[in-house]
Amino acid sequence: MQESLRAKQLAKEQKRREREQLIAERMAKMPKMIENWRQQQLERWKKVQADKERRARLQAEAQERLGYHVDPRSTRFQELLQDLEKQERKRLKEEKQRQKAARAAAMAAAMAASTAQDPEASGWPAPELSQ
């Protein structure tokens, strides 16, 4: 009888120790988790602020184009805003393509310069000069 009580007590004690260990492990991870959460919150906040700023800029541009203060809920304003957003996306896409083309040209120029200096490094056989 006492053995079974002792076994139950030992099992209960073991379970308590395992739980305390699990809690200690999780508490050790807590500062990093809090820092990650704060970083995510900051990124979200920055994204929201950038979106608000972009939206306000587009709204100001739309009102400047129309020449008068427009209710942001009006359909005409919404259409103009969509048009401006479309133009901005197009401009960003073109800028990205220009940057990509510039990088490709720079890479090609660098490759041409390196092969002009050291033709053996290019992997092509050197032209034989006959005299």
User: In this structure, what is the dihedral angle of CA atoms 77, 78, 80, 83, given to the nearest 10 degrees?
Assistant: 170
Q: Is the pTM of this model over 0.85?
A: no
pLDDT of 73:
86
pLDDT of 64:
86
Q: What is the DSSP code string of 50-102?
A: HHHHHHHHHHHHHHHHHTS---TTSHHHHHHHHHHHHHHHHHHHHHHHHHHHH
Alpha carbons 15 and 93: distance in angstroms, whole number: 60
Task: Domain ranges for the chain, please list them.
Answer: 11-108
pLDDT of 57:
86
Low-confidence ranges of the chain (pLDDT < 70): 118-131
